[in-house]
Structure 1
Amino acid sequence: MFKKLICSTLVGVALMAVTTIQAQTTFPAKAIRIIVPFAAGGTSDILARSLGQKLTESWGQPVLVENRVGANGNVGADHVAKSAPDGYTLLLSDVGALAINPSVYPNMPYDPVRDFSPVGMVAYSPHVFGVHPSVPANNVKELIDYAKANPGKLNFAISGTGGAPHLAGISFAQRTGINWTYIPYKGGSQAVADVASGQANVIMNGMLATYPTVKSGRIRALAISSAQRVGSAPEVATIAETLPGFETGSYQGLLAPAGTPRDVIGKLNAEMSKILATQEMREKLAVLGTEVRTAQPEALGSFIASEKSRWAQVIKESGIKFD
């Protein structure tokens, strides 16, 4: 009996070893889907399509981008969380949305820390803090002064209720003592379009998706939300130059369902990091004010957990209630 148990155990270990080796040598053996939980044209979507194209070229397998929109990213994220943990269904999302949603939605269908295996950070795009040219403000101080002199007159376009741009606006209002009306849209691209057309007044949105409209003159950039000015737009001040320590932005990460084999995660991370390190990708993103930021899976997991705590505190202090 003991000998049979030993043999059975050895067979099991051998099978696990073979499975691991096969995963290492054959992945990917079919098409990969990258789920973007936001509308097309936003920061996550632009990054997913750029990265997906390069992964297709590297591996010779199709990497398809699919937009699954709803509940500030929850629909797409939940789909990935409940997908097979084999590396063939991935999530590319604004880390802020994942971290903020537990404080916004009382009945979350997934846990952003427990239900994903982080692959790695992709990029950081500061928020552009901008206004329609009809708003009489050319910098942050002038906007604060105007908003205080005209309480409730300005409206603030957001990519979705409870998203990172929304919380950035709340944080800014907390620091300055102003108030404005938030107008939620089904994605950042719609919010940008309405500010550009004058249907909305103010926006705080990822620079990658917003800066082309700034360069066209349809949105006036007052500042960006990074700690330092960015090389692609050195003339644009930071919000921190007026409000010391203010820093927000669109941190983008790639994640797989929890339980995805470590070797598959490692292969995804290595190839993604290799692509993002190329001069072509760095220059392509830098032109749009986006900085490549790669990180090991464990570092991304820790970052999501810390952001979850950070934004929970902001929401608690604001007293805001979400429907």
Structure 2
Amino acid sequence: MTRFNSGRRDTLRALAAAPVLTSLGASTAWAADPAPSLAGSPIKLIVPYTPGGSSDIIARAISNPLSEALGTNVIVENKVGANGNIGADFVAKSPADGHTLLLCDVRALSISPSLYKLPFDLAKNLQGVAMLAYSPHLVVVHPSVPANTLPELIALSKKKPLNFAVTAMGSTAHLTGKLLEEKTGGKWDYVPYKGGSQAINDTIAGQTDMLVNGMLATLPFVQAKRLKVIAVSKPTRVALLPNVPTIAETIPGFESGTWQGVMAPAGMPPAVLKRISDELLRIIRLPAVREMLVGQGAEVSTMNVPEMAKFIDNERKTWDALVKRTGLKIE
């Protein structure tokens, strides 16, 4: 069962009820050059992971403002499986008319071609629409684990491998664990799950020792002292956890995290693509949305269509190199 704290529920309710704020500049631009209408059929916003994770939180925060902006219902639908690839495949094979979108961890999607035999071609069948947010990973453990720093955790794991809850095999969290092993000699036994919320719940229950997961979904459980935070994967310390060291303080240059963005079937008409991209970039910057994300450890970090294309290409090369070095295979 997905667990939400009351503060998050209240925030999402407020966002759902809030009126959409359209800037004068945007209104004037569209008045001068009317955008294509998407009214009529509802828009499916596919989240390819279980409810309660970073992508799901953001999708539900933006769905009502996006619905108001585009003049049609936006329905968030979770299509879970194969580290997000089932949902991605559904979107890749949908009509490129703007009525089916994917909100996912774009970094994780960029990794998938290196690990899976996909039923779609990421480069040919999907295209970026808008990058919305970045959330660093937190390295957390069950409170009973006798380690308070990353070096202590590494030393403990060398005595006996720790059970590492993996949100999905082949996910960014999984590959971050592999990268930590490569850089430090740490030893983990990976325990696979079908989503972040399930992995969090089992680590809270003590069924697994440790977890790497996006800060947006994990921070509330750290604040409630149900998980103990060891390190954060952003290059610099985060304001919400000023006393928590970064991984980079132990491993210089280390960075990982989730990049939440919207993808669409390739071949969408340029005017429709621009309309949706512009609205998403405007909505994610709304004060209520920004404050919700910042308050839970995420950052509004935006990219437009060409910037996303470059990002995905770079990510594919970076993580493919790690997969080849470690010999990682998904059974």
Q: Pick from 133, 149, 173 the counterpart of residue 181 of structure 2.
A: 173
Q: What is the SS of the residue equivalent to 2:123?
A: coil
Q: What is the SS of the residue equivalent to 1:46?
A: helix
Equivalent positions of 1:114-153 (< 5 A) are 114-148=124-158, 150-152=159-161
Runs (4 or more) in structure 1 with deviation over 6 Å come to none
Q: What is the SS of the residue equivalent to 1:77?
A: helix
| CA distance, structure 1, for counterparts of residue 114 and residue 34 of structure 2 | 37
Q: Pick from 318, 324, 327 the counterpart of residue 319 of structure 1.
A: 327
Matched AA of 1:27: L
| CA distance, structure 2, for counterparts of residue 117 and residue 24 of structure 1 | 20
Q: What is the SS of the residue equivalent to 2:148?
A: coil
| CA distance, structure 2, for counterparts of residue 256 and residue 116 of structure 1 | 6
Q: What is the SS of the residue equivalent to 2:238?
A: coil
Equivalent positions of 1:1-323 (< 5 A) are 24-105=35-116, 107-148=117-158, 150-152=159-161, 154-323=162-331
Q: What is the SS of the residue equivalent to 1:160?
A: coil
Q: How far 1:179 moved relative to its partner?
A: 1.5
Could you tell me whether the CA contact under 8 Å between 1:124 and 1:293 is conserved in 2? yes
| CA distance, structure 2, for counterparts of residue 26 and residue 124 of structure 1 | 30
Matched AA of 2:265: P
Q: How far 1:23 moved relative to its partner?
A: 8.8
TM-score in terms of structure 2 length: 0.88
Q: How far 1:198 moved relative to its partner?
A: 0.6
Q: What is the SS of the residue equivalent to 1:204?
A: strand
Matched AA of 1:135: V
| CA distance, structure 2, for counterparts of residue 45 and residue 278 of structure 1 | 18
| CA distance, structure 1, for counterparts of residue 71 and residue 266 of structure 2 | 26
Whose radius of gyration is greater, 1 or 2?
Answer: 1
| CA distance, structure 2, for counterparts of residue 272 and residue 289 of structure 1 | 20
Q: Which runs of 5+ in 2 are unaligned?
A: 1-32
Q: How far 1:233 moved relative to its partner?
A: 2.2
Q: 1:36 to 1:23 in 2, by over 3 A?
A: farther
Q: Deviations over 1:232-277 (max 9, x none)?
A: 2222221111111110000111011000011111111111111111
Q: How far 1:97 moved relative to its partner?
A: 1.8
Could you tell me whether the CA contact under 8 Å between 1:144 and 1:178 is conserved in 2? yes
| CA distance, structure 2, for counterparts of residue 263 and residue 118 of structure 1 | 14
Matched AA of 1:282: R
Could you tell me whether the CA contact under 8 Å between 1:54 and 1:275 is conserved in 2? yes
| CA distance, structure 1, for counterparts of residue 253 and residue 160 of structure 2 | 25
Q: How far 1:31 moved relative to its partner?
A: 1.3
Could you tell me whether the CA contact under 8 Å between 2:43 and 2:74 is conserved in 1? yes
Could you tell me whether the CA contact under 8 Å between 2:38 and 2:72 is conserved in 1? no
Matched AA of 2:321: Q
Count of aligned positions: 300
TM-score in terms of structure 1 length: 0.90
| CA distance, structure 2, for counterparts of residue 222 and residue 87 of structure 1 | 42
Could you tell me whether the CA contact under 8 Å between 2:37 and 2:70 is conserved in 1? no
Matched AA of 1:299: E
Matched AA of 1:58: A
State the partner residue of 1:8. Answer: none
